[in-house]
Structure formats: structure tokens, C-alpha cells
Structure 1
């Protein structure tokens, strides 16, 4: 790579004083001692961002090996200054790329290669991150020299690059591959970059440096799950190298080898199948590595993916007896995990830490080993150094791998309950194997269970209970004969002195709750189901919060499996829930809400009984009144209340008005705050979960109450439909999805209140039905929005009737586009077809000329739709369109008559059934009159369809 010896050699020349000032500011901004100097430096850095030359200076500082003339920094301080400059430069590229002058971009592109060759690994990593950000913002081909130059560094054919430079090059290449996967696979000017890159990466796996080998595999593994032509062409060469690297002395390399095998299971299982015996032995060896849990976990992933692969799992059958003992061995808590988790105390009265409740983001701890520094000054310098690294981490709102990695010495102290571990992966693999091989797996683990369920060591008991729970789904049939003995013993373990045993017993009992709930004999129910439920309910009030959480989760599982069988026990269950509301700290409240909503969902209207709804609603309303509008807990409470409202139905009326009003206010506040955030970069954007759950709660209330009460609530909110229209146009899919669900409910239950707003709402809805914005993204959430929008359109069409006329043509075009597009999910197709049919109820004359464009798709979409009022009204509307233009059905007439013959409407109220039959008969009459050979046409139908048609309709003259 042609390197400038210094960025200063470019045409631009720095002002020495400005350079010194910026370097000093960067240092002071990281200071932990002088808060005044730190604040002043931060303000100056903010002001400096407006300078057109700021990125030139940052590039210069970042790529320089010595401080600016006139400044004296220690090596560690100058490294921090360079790091701060690199992060600030990357953030500027990220946020203001389009505003950066071309001359500055050219300087940055000169600085990055110098950074990639720096002797310091962190500076090399920062350089790679800047390169990645430049490519992300400007596109791969805006810097055409980068990839060829990186490949030259990687090959190092003439030995002109240092080992550090090669590491920097491969590190940058790995990041670029990850962020530009599709671009590298795509053809550009007749060539696909990956065709050149992949062989070079495979060649780099022979590099003497283990770090280069590992990073080369990291880059390759970006492409292993994908079926690109380059990967297909290189697969044999890659496999050959993987088998050679399988015994690599570096665990980092072997970790990537395991990852490659895992990913190749999905792309080229045929290539792995001949080697399955050797792969089993290899994976077992890596999973058994006691010195590297990350490597062992990566290896264990292999069992998960291969066990779920329809063409490969059977190949493992001869090796099950070898694999299962390794999985069981790895399910025992490690000594390190026991040191962190074991012997947990009663903590029911301790308040939860905020970080235990908030979602976990990818932040890194920033600590340094200070053992080499002595004395009070050393302690102070060490504290300041730690502060500086923490400050660096906070500067970067999008930490990239490697930026703070070298400082992350406490990563191993992370709570094993909060991360994916070898133990969890092994248990998940055992679950998959149980579903694959059933009785064979239980036969393999039965001696282990017999030896360890009553083991003196709690960690062995715990692992045995975990194993029993893991095989529940797959081995239920063969475990059932043992459950009369196992369940009572597990219930006694709910009182085990060790917290982690009680915790896992709750989970395992939840896994077997379907068996207990299905017992019909009252004596058996009293022997097994009732003690199980009572035991789980008791653990919901354990003195340890982790056990409380496990008890609540197990109870939610039991509720789901037992369903309406819980009705006789609802009184005691709700009493226990009320006690939990009074006792739980912040974290477990979220699990309790899930428990309540699961109960409401599965037991339904029986909850409206006063003795049940009274205490439950009192507890929920007490929490409701306590929470501020900005409380995250309110989101979970709203979701829970939505399910409860649906279960209570009109009995929810006493609680509806204040909840409805508050939800409208929350939507208003959040929309307002979001508008401020859009116009002011310094204001945080809102958490859209508040919008989603408030919209869902409004839907639940409108559905639950009698129509007149729902209408009265809507009338009290003059801005209701204006706010709804804003939510229908929100950038976030989830908000729009809930908004269109609410629109559909309003159309169904409070249409007269909605009617005046329809001219404002329908144009937004029509825009949402345009597929052009989402098909390339292939995002399920976007299709969920379209699904709800289609349903809403159909509901509006049935009520707005002839007034729909100005919108019919565009709505027809949108719906036809949806039902005709093979990439649209089936459910969305069906909802669009229903909307099309319902549009024909009052606008059949408008649709009739276009019938041939959607008749076939309509009938195909409706074939699998269950009988409902919606399907009936859709077929009625479609048939009214057919009656207007019967000739248009020439190609699909047989399908249409077959649909009539097979239409099942037994569950519909008689008016719907009668209406639809009359319309069907009318269309049959039309065809009897216009088709001379009508009787012969009927004879082409299948005998059973002919019989059904003749039984229900008049088909002969």
C-alpha cells in the first residue's frame, strides 16, 4: 500500500497552536481530577466540531506517533489522546459524513492506512472502525483503493509490511466484510469482489500469526451461512483448510473453526455428512475443553444446529451414546459460576439495582491492572486512568469490537444467569436431541438421573433436575411412567436449602405441568396437579428473588398448559398474586405481570366474577396509580391490563375511563416529545414502547366494553383520531402495526365517531399499502403493518359503503398488487383478499371492470380462510362483483363454483348465512341463463362438489 509518511505531507497544513489546543482539550476531556478543566474541554470540543478543519486535525492526531511540538505527554496519556481523536473522528464520519469536505475525506483516507500499521493494537482497531464507517456512509466503491490495498497487506508477498500491519489489515477486512456482506457478493462492473477476497482470506488462515488466522476465519464466517457463488466455488478449499486448522494450538482459531462448521451445517450439509464421525469426535473434544468456556460453548452450538437440521440429525443417531454424557457433564455449574452464584442468601427485602432492570446494552467495563504502580500517587493516577477509559467508552455511542476489548478484564465476572453459557447451550442441545431421538435419549440419561437427583452435592442435584426438565418436550411419553415417583420428589426439592436448586426445580415442574394438568381422575389430580401448583405458588413468595422469578415463570407455564382447568383454583391463585404485588421488587414485577396476563388470556371471561376481578384489579390499579407516565414499568402494566380488559369484557367499565384518558395523554406526550427530538439532536428520542402499549390498551378497551360505552369514551377525546393518524404514519413498524389494529377496532365498534376523520385517515392508509418500500427489505414487521392495514381497509369498506367511491380505484390497485405478489406472506394475502371482497359490497360496479385482474388470486387466497363473518361478507361482496361482470370469470369459473360448493358457514349467525346463500344463488342463476351448456359445466365438478351444490342450491332449470 502506498503510504504517506505523515498526514502533514498533504496540501493542507495544520495551525500549530490549534493543533496543540485540540490535543490538550482531548487530554483534559478525559481527566478525572479537574472537573472544571474537563467541562471546559468538553465545551471547546463541541465548539470545534463546527470548524471545517476539525476532522483534519483529528486525523493528524490519531495517526501521529508523537505529541504536537510544544506539548509533553506520557506514552499512556498520548495513547488516550489518540484514542479520543479516533473515536471523535469516527463519530463525526457517522453523523456528518455528507458535510465533510472531499479534501478532509482524502486526509482521513491517508490517516487510516497509517493507523492500520500502528504498533498499538487498539489504534489499529480504531483505524479499522473508521475505515468501516467511511465505507458504510460513502459506499464501498467511493474508496476503490481500499480493498486492493488491504489484500496486499494481507498477502504481504514481498514482506514489506510488519506483522502488526498485517494484523491491522485483516482486522479492518473482517469488519468491512461484516458490514458490507451483500455489496461484496454483488456484481459490480462485471466482477464480484468476493471472488477475489475469499481465496485471499482462506490463504491467510496459513499465516504464522494466530491472531491473523483467527481474524481471517472471522471474516470467512461472515459468508459461510450464505450460498454465494464465491462460497460455493471455494467450499472444498475452505473445508480442507478447516480440517488442517482443527488442531490449531490457538483456541481463538479453533473457536472460529467450530463456528465455521456450525454455519456450514445450513449451507452445505452434504459436504459435512461424509465427515460426521470425525466431526463428532472433534466437537466433543472442543466442548470438553475446561480451560476455554467460550470455545466449548462455540463447539456445543454444533449440536443445536445439526440436531435441528432435517437432513443431518439422523446421522447423529449412532453417536448419541457418546454425545449425551458430554452434554450432561457440561450442564453442571462450573466452579467459577458457583463462586458467583452459589450460596445466594435470602434477598427478598433488598431493592433491585437499576442496571438489573434496564435492558442490557453492549457497554464494556473499563478497568486497568494497577499492580505495577505504587504509593498514593499511583492510586490517584490509576483512578484517573480508569476514569479516562470509562470516558472513552462513553464518547462512543456505537462501540465496535476491539475498541475497549483490551481493557475488559472483568468480562468473566458477568453473571452466568445473564449470558449464554456452555451449561445453557448444552441443556438446549439435550432438549433438541430429546425431540430428535426421544426414548434413546431418556435411556441414555436415566442412569445419570438415578445417580444424581439425590446427590449430596447440590450442583450435581441441580444439573440432574435441569437434565430432567430439558428432555420434557421430546421424551414425555417415556418419562410419564416415572412421573408418579419423580413429581413428588421434585416438589420436596422446592424446599432445598440451595437457591439454585429451588430455582431449577420450579422451571422443571413448569415443563411437566402439561402432564399434571391433563389428569382427569380427581384422585390423581389431588395427588400430583394440586401439590405441584401449590408448590409453585408457594415459591412465588420464596425469600430469594431468583426463586420468586422462577416460580412466577413456572406458574405462567402451568397457566398456559392448564387453561380453563384452572377455574376451580382461581381464588387462591389470585390471592397469591395479590400478595406478590405487595412484596415483589421492581424486576420480578415484570414477571408477575406476565403471569397475570397469561392467566387472563387462558381462563377468559370467568375472571369477571366480582370475587376474582375485585382483588386482582385493586392490586393492578394500585400499581397504576403509583407509576409515573415515564415509568418503564407502565409499559408492562399496560400490556397486562389489555389482556385483563379483554377477559373482563364489559365488567372492565369501572376502570375504563381513567385508563383510556391516560393512554390518550401518554400518546400525545410521546408524539410531542418525539417531534421535539426530531428537531433537536440534543433531546433523546422517546421510547416507542409507550406508544405501542397505549395504542394496544385503547384497542382492548374498545373491544371489551359495550359499543355505546366505547363510543362515549372516544367522544371525550377530541384529538383521538388526529393522534391515531400520526401513529399510523410513525417511522417505527411496531407503532404503525398497533395503530392500524386500533383503526380496525374503531371501524368495527365506534364507526360513527371515526366517520368524520376518514377523509384524513384513508390517504395515510393507502400509502401504507404500497409494497415498494418494504419488499427489498423483507422485514416481517413491515408485513405485519400491511396485514393490519388491509384488515382495517376491509372494516372501513363495510361501514363507509358508497362514500368509499373516491378511494376505490387506488385501494383496488393496492390490494390487487398485494394478493398478486408471491413474496407477500399468506396471512397478508388473505387479509387483502377479504378487504377486496368487502370493498365489493357497496362498490361492485366500480370493481366489476377489473374482476379478471384479481378473481383467481382472490379465490386462491380464500381457499384456506376459516369460516367467519369476515369471510362471509368478503364472498358476498366478491359475488356481487361477479354478478356485474360474469364473463370475466371464464378462466376461474370452476374454482368459483367449487368454492361455493365447499363453503362452510355452520358457525355463522343465520342472517349472515342467509345473505350469503341468497347472493350465491343469484350468481348461479346468472350463469344458468348465460351458459347454454351449464349442466355440462356442473358435470365437470368433482362428484362430492356436485352433490353439495345440488343439495344447497337450485342448479337446474
Structure 2
């Protein structure tokens, strides 16, 4: 096989059949002749006579045989690489390193990615130590610019993907840092090398923690980065400020002397740069400062509440000390808007607004007066940029300062702000709607319901008819007003918003009638309607019930629209509309509750029509199931009438290999269990067969397992002793799942999965114990394994931070004890951890329900111990 020609055909052939044939050849070679295939790819990469595209594809193909995004595939491919003959590996490594000196940057870039993929496997195993030596040598001053750039890019890629806690990788940190400092130094004549070095530094910062702890080495790093901020090359300046932000995030504790000596001045100067990218990165530096200090403040509060004073980091209050210089600069940057920029374009003004919000959270009341002066000086300016900046500034400081200080200010600001809802500038109106939404969300006590609310509603109704951007923010404001003013709406006869429901529903329905969803305005209108429904008081229930008729009519109309689809955009638009309508309908069903019984037949017919006619690769199925779950929850065991016709759709979804669809279907099974109670026993054999089949599949997404285990508990609690035939099999599955535990190599992501799995096992045990309460003899052989599992998870500190988990575990201990009044399980209750976790559940920070559960569990434990 002429590998060069095959690669060329795979990427450059204009004939689709030729391309497909070449791709098939490559796939077959990888499967049937793996080592020779790697050798051919290596030869193609090494051959400087080959076309650039061919060499790049050869490098990418090699990399893709070594690493992958999917963790399971990545591990398998790493094991395969490790098992390769040493000679084959050495040839590929040598070619990849040699290719870094290529005069073609694109080929060198591909080689850098290949080297990083190999290094990700070998460095943690203390293999390929000569790589670092070569990379350091390649960055020396006398080397060609292209070689230095490619080598520094390689270091950046290695550090980006490697584990910063792995000793094998960390052992190379000195070499990496030497190369980076050589490349980033001011004596390096080319900006492209310095920029690449700074980007590599950002990726390497977690690896050089030990170096950063040494004053001399830290000083060199900081000096090199600070000098780069003074370069005439704006791209280099921006990279330097980005590096400073990352350093601040990781090494705040070391930053005090550098802030005092240089960083205050350098960053303020950078914020004032005429280059937008430089200014944005300098602003981002101060956003990082505020984020770090906010986090420190939160940690200090937690330590104080737990009585652990003096723990954690110390805050140097950099933002507070720098406010006199930074705040005026931030406020002035708010006026650097671009009239033609889209919402996706991150501008200096947007960065400044985000930073101002963080400053407000960090410094509190200190920020108010200076910001108010800016607002009053610019709110009525002839320049739209200054008017918009004034509104943005006011909205940005509403989270952080004392609400009591802001309350009176909002009353003063509202009239002129509402006037600006008629402003000729779209940007001004958009920001005003956002600002009023912030007032409603954060300082609702500043809005006088009698005096201010009528004019606010009037302005919002007007804004709903405006540009989609304005309409979207008006919807958000309506949601905030409703949530804040009607928190107890469902329990009340009348709410502060009741008199506005009719006009708001009518206006939102009109806004939601758009054929498109520009700026998410249609979706926002339906979300606002949902919020009105969720928090509706009793006096507006007729309006809510009437709304359901309109929603059903619109949903039925989408079935006809599906016949007129001519493009993928049409498909996306209709699916988005269906999802919006189903979301609103679900909330209406939940709000009206059992009153939905009279329309249940019509709703279920519509839902099954939607399932029957759903488009290929449709996203709407999950939302249909959620709506069906709401019907089941509303009508209880009457839902049994629809099970025969609905079951085929449900089983198909349970067997769907797509994770989200399957998960939603499992959740619906749980809803059905709660609704049908013991009557779900007729469908249990089918459910359990499907669940066990999924759990046996090796390629099933691991995330589905916790959902299924939890649902098994729902089934057990619903059918009671009818769960007996499944008990042994399910307990075996739970026992096997409980063996999964973290080790030193466990990633945070996998640790989260383990916690979710453990939580689902607890849910399953709770359901099984509740269901078999009247069959305690059947359950007795499994009590000791249950206790063994609970003993393990009570040492899981992250999991035990969850009040709901502690309540479930303690409730389970109480339930089991009460099932065996003769003391059959008494020895288990003498374990120290049992008393300890019951004691933990009585923590003063927990809810009354959890404390009551703990008290009851303690009483049951005492009864066991007295046997």
C-alpha cells in the first residue's frame, strides 16, 4: 500500500467514492496490521518530499492511535502503546522529535501534538527522559526561530494534558521551566517565540509549584512575565497579562510584594491600552483577583461557622487597596462599546462590566459612592455609550453592597431608568431591561409594590414588543419579579402580581408567537409564562387553566409544521418550539394537579402522537416523557389506563443507546412507580428485565447505572413483598456496584461518579427496605452487607457533606432496626460509626426533618442495644 497516496486520497480526493475507499483502507490496515500500519504512517511523516497535508494527516493518524478523548478508549490505547515493540515506539518518537525542526510550521505543529500524546503515556512511567533534554536544547538562543517555537508549543501541549500531580511528569518541571524562561525572556528577538513560551508557561504553572515556592525562581518568572507586558507587540502583551491572571489564580499567597512593586501599575496601564485584547486581558487579571478574594472570604465564613478560626488563606484585600485607581478605569471602559458587535463578541466594555460585578461582590459598600457619581454624570448624556455605561454600572453593583444601602437608591434610580426604555438606542434599552431584572432579583425590597410596580409592568409589556434582545431581558425581569414577589403564591389566595397576570400572559403569548427564536426571545417568553404558572396564586387559576388550551393548540399545530420541513434549520426551529411548549405544559399540569384528570386522555393521545411522529435524531423525546411524568404524578393510579398503549414507547426509550433518552425514560419509570404504587407490579417483570440487561452491557454509558439502581429502589418500595423474586439478583448487583472505590489515581470526575453511584445504592437500599418491611425474614441475610456498605461510605467526606444523604442513611438505620424488634441485628448497632453518623445528623445546621429522623433512629438503635 502506498501510504502517501492513500492519505492524500483520504483528505484531498474530490471523488467521494475515492475518499471513502481510502478511509476504509486506513481503517482496515489499523485493525489487521497495526504495527506495520504505524510504521507506514511514520514513514509518511518522516518523508519531507510528501505534501504538507499528507504529513499532517499521518501525524494526526498516529496520534489518534495513541490517545483519545473518551477515557475508556484512551486507557485501552495507552496499554496498546505500552505493549508495542520497543523498536517501533522508538522510531515513532525519533521521527516526531526530528519533525519539530521542519521548516513547515503546520507539520511541526502536528508533530508537537503527537509528541504530547506519547509523553502523556511515557513521562508518568519515567520513560523518555531524553525528550526534555532535546526540548531544552531546542530553545537555546542560537536555535532557529521555528525550532524554538515548535519545541515550546510541544511543552505547552504536554503540560496541558498531563496530570500535574504525577511525580514522573513533575520531575521534568525544571527542564520545562528552563526552556520556557529561555523562550519568554526579553532578549528573545522574536515575538512569536515569546508568545508561545508564555502560553506554555500558563499550561505549566501547576507543574512548577515547587519552583514557585523558591523566591529566586519565582522572581525570575515574575520578572520575565512583567517585562513582556511592556513589549510593543500587543499580542505578546495580551499573553503576558493572561499569564499574570493564571499566576494570580494559582499563587495568590505569593503575590503581595509583586502587587505592591509592579502589578498595580502595570495592569492599570494595560487596562487603558487602545488594543482591545490587551485591555480585556488586563481587566481579566482584576476579575481573577476579585474571584480569589471572594473565595477566600467564603472559606473564612465557613471556617468561622465551624469554629475553625485561623484556617485557610489570608486575604490581602488587593481589590480594596487598588480601588482608587482600578475603579475609575473600569467605569471609563464601560463606554468602550461597539455598536455593531454581536453578543458573542467579548468586548472591553463587557469585560469591564463583569469585573465591576466582581468588584462589588468583593468590596461591598466601598464601591457604591464612586459608581453612583459615574451614573449621575452619564445617565442623561447625549452619547448613547455613556447612557448605556451608566445603566450597566448601576446594575453591576447590586450584588455585594448591603441591600439596606441600595434600597433607597433603587427608588431614586427607577424613574429615569424606566424612561430610558423608550431610548432610541437598542443597546440602552437592552441594558435597562437587564438592570431592572437585576433589581428584582437582588434587591426586591427596593421596589415599592404600590408605587413602582405598575410603571415597571407597563415598561416591560412595552419592551416585550421591542427588539428580541430587549424582549428577552424583559422576560427575565418578569421571571425575577414573579419569583421574588410570589414565593408563596401557590399557597395564597392573592399575590402582588395577580392583577398583572392577564396582561402579562397575553403579552408573553404574543411574544412567543414569533416564527423564529432570535436572541432566545421565544424561549424566554415561554420560560416567563412557566414562571407565572409555577408561582400563581389561587385567584389566577382560571387563567392558568385557560392557558393550557392555547398551549395544546400550539403543540398540535407543530405536528403539521413537521410536514413542511425543508432544512435542518426548520427542524431545529420546530423542535425548539415543541420543547418550549412541552416545558410550559408540564408546569401547567403540575400546578393544576388532579384537575388534569378530565384532559388526561387528550394529553396522552397528543404525547403519543408526538412520539410516533418525532423526527430522526430528535431532541424532543425527553421533554415528552417529562410531561407524561407530570400527568402520572397528577392523576395517580388512574394513569394505569394509559399504560398498555404507552408501554411500547417507554420500553423503546429504555433500550435507546443514547444516554439522555434512556436516563429520562428511567426517571419516568420512577414517576410511574410513585403514581401506580402496588399496581406497577404488572409491569415490573418487563422493567426489571430491561434494567438488568442494560447493566450487563459492557458498552453501556456508566452514567446510566446510578439512575437504574435508584429506580430499582422505587420499584421495590412500590410493589412491597412483590419484589421478593428480584431480591437476590438486585442485591448481587448492588453488592458488586458498592465495591467500586477511589484510589490514588482516581480523577475528580470519576470520584464524582463514585459518589453518584453510592448515593444511588443508598436510594436502592432505602426503597428495598421500605418495600420488604413486612418480609423481614427475606431481607435478613442482606442486612450485614448493607451495613458494610454504609460503614464504608460514612468515611466519604465529600458524600457526607450532603444533608440528604445523611438523612437517608440515618433513616435507613432506623428502618432496619424497627424491622427486627427482637434484636436479631443488635451487634451491628454497637459499631461506633452507627452512633457517630446519627450524632452527625443532629447537627444544628441541618433541617428539622433531618434532626427528627436522627432522633427517631437513635431511639431505634437504643431498642436494639437493650435486647
Matched, 1:556 2:556: no
CA contact (8 A) 2:530 2:587 kept: yes
Q: 2:816 aligns with which of 832, 835, 839?
A: 839
Counterparts of 1:35 and 1:339, CA distance in 2 = 41
* Between 199-208 and 550-559, the greater mean CA deviation after superposition: 199-208
Q: 1:504/1:606 Cα in 2 relative to 1: closer, same or farther (>3 Å)? A: same
Equivalence for 2:565: none
Counterparts of 2:505 and 2:835, CA distance in 1 = 52
Deviation, structure 1 residue 339: 2.8
Matched, 1:465 2:440: no
Counterparts of 1:97 and 1:498, CA distance in 2 = 57
Equivalence for 1:798: 770
What are the Cα deviations for residues 315-354 of structure 1, in whole angstroms up to 9, with x where unaligned? 332431321222123223544xx2344xxxxxxxxxxxxx
Secondary structure of 1:719 counterpart: helix
Q: 1:883/1:43 Cα in 2 relative to 1: closer, same or farther (>3 Å)? A: closer
Structure number with higher relative contact order (C-alpha < 8 Å, ≥ 6 residues apart): 1
What are the Cα deviations for residues 648-695 of structure 1, in whole angstroms up to 9, with x where unaligned? 433344447552569976664455342xxxxxxxxxxx2x33344444
Q: 1:650/1:702 Cα in 2 relative to 1: closer, same or farther (>3 Å)? A: farther
Equivalence for 2:748: 778
Matched, 1:591 2:524: yes
Secondary structure of 1:474 counterpart: coil
Of structures 1 and 2, the larger Rg is shown by 1
Matched, 1:224 2:147: no
CA contact (8 A) 1:198 1:231 kept: no
Equivalence for 2:53: 80
Counterparts of 2:168 and 2:21, CA distance in 1 = 51
Q: 1:672 aligns with which of 655, 667, 674?
A: 655
Counterparts of 1:759 and 1:577, CA distance in 2 = 54
Alignment of 1:634-673 (within 5 A): 644-653=588-597, 654-655=599-600, 659-660=628-629, 668-673=651-656
Q: 1:332/1:252 Cα in 2 relative to 1: closer, same or farther (>3 Å)? A: same
Counterparts of 1:609 and 1:750, CA distance in 2 = 35
Matched, 1:488 2:415: yes
What are the Cα deviations for residues 789-812 of structure 1, in whole angstroms up to 9, with x where unaligned? 424422432332213223211111
Alignment of 1:167-566 (within 5 A): 167-182=149-164, 185-186=166-167, 192-206=171-185, 207-224=188-205, 228-233=209-214, 234-277=217-260, 278-291=262-275, 293-308=276-291, 309=293, 310=296, 311-312=314-315, 314-335=317-338, 338-341=339-342, 417-418=343-344, 420-475=346-401, 476-514=403-441, 517-518=444-445, 524-542=448-466, 544-562=467-485, 563=487, 564=489, 565=495, 566=497
Equivalence for 1:24: 5
Counterparts of 2:140 and 2:543, CA distance in 1 = 79
Alignment of 1:83-232 (within 5 A): 83-94=56-67, 101-102=84-85, 103-137=87-121, 140-141=124-125, 143-156=127-140, 159=142, 161-182=143-164, 185-186=166-167, 192-206=171-185, 207-224=188-205, 228-232=209-213
Counterparts of 1:559 and 1:726, CA distance in 2 = 46
Equivalence for 1:920: none
Counterparts of 1:581 and 1:155, CA distance in 2 = 59
Alignment of 1:905-916 (within 5 A): none
Deviation, structure 1 residue 283: 0.9
Q: 1:805/1:690 Cα in 2 relative to 1: closer, same or farther (>3 Å)? A: same
What are the Cα deviations for residues 591-625 of structure 1, in whole angstroms up to 9, with x where unaligned? 3454345445545x849934313413651684388
Counterparts of 1:745 and 1:607, CA distance in 2 = 36
Counterparts of 1:665 and 1:591, CA distance in 2 = 34
Unaligned residue ranges in structure 1 (runs of 5+): 1-17, 68-77, 342-416, 675-685, 887-925, 927-957
What are the Cα deviations for residues 76-95 of structure 1, in whole angstroms up to 9, with x where unaligned? xx222222322233223336
Matched, 1:848 2:821: no
Deviation, structure 1 residue 700: 5.6
Counterparts of 2:533 and 2:708, CA distance in 1 = 23
Counterparts of 1:511 and 1:471, CA distance in 2 = 10
Q: 1:820 aligns with which of 778, 795, 805?
A: 795
Matched, 1:613 2:580: no
* Between 53-62 and 307-316, the greater mean CA deviation after superposition: 307-316
Secondary structure of 1:119 counterpart: coil
Secondary structure of 1:820 counterpart: coil
Q: 1:606/1:444 Cα in 2 relative to 1: closer, same or farther (>3 Å)? A: same
Q: 1:546/1:760 Cα in 2 relative to 1: closer, same or farther (>3 Å)? A: farther
Secondary structure of 1:418 counterpart: coil
Aligned residues: 754
CA contact (8 A) 2:164 2:206 kept: no
Q: 1:474/1:259 Cα in 2 relative to 1: closer, same or farther (>3 Å)? A: same
CA contact (8 A) 1:154 1:204 kept: no
CA contact (8 A) 1:838 1:874 kept: no
Counterparts of 1:789 and 1:466, CA distance in 2 = 48
Equivalence for 1:690: 661
What are the Cα deviations for residues 821-873 of structure 1, in whole angstroms up to 9, with x where unaligned? 33434114443333333332214635421322323422332122746667645
Counterparts of 1:115 and 1:450, CA distance in 2 = 62
CA contact (8 A) 1:641 1:697 kept: no
Q: 1:788/1:717 Cα in 2 relative to 1: closer, same or farther (>3 Å)? A: closer
Q: 1:759/1:794 Cα in 2 relative to 1: closer, same or farther (>3 Å)? A: same
Deviation, structure 1 residue 174: 1.0
Unaligned residue ranges in structure 2 (runs of 5+): 69-76, 297-313, 490-494, 563-570, 608-627, 630-642
Counterparts of 1:589 and 1:41, CA distance in 2 = 46
Counterparts of 1:695 and 1:600, CA distance in 2 = 27
TM-score normalized by the length of structure 2? 0.77
TM-score normalized by the length of structure 1? 0.70
Q: 1:515/1:258 Cα in 2 relative to 1: closer, same or farther (>3 Å)? A: closer
CA contact (8 A) 2:155 2:176 kept: no
What are the Cα deviations for residues 344-381 of structure 1, in whole angstroms up to 9, with x where unaligned? xxxxxxxxxxxxxxxxxxxxxxxxxxxxxxxxxxxxxx
Deviation, structure 1 residue 814: 0.8
What are the Cα deviations for residues 690-737 of structure 1, in whole angstroms up to 9, with x where unaligned? 34444445556766xxx55x6657856863344456677896576455
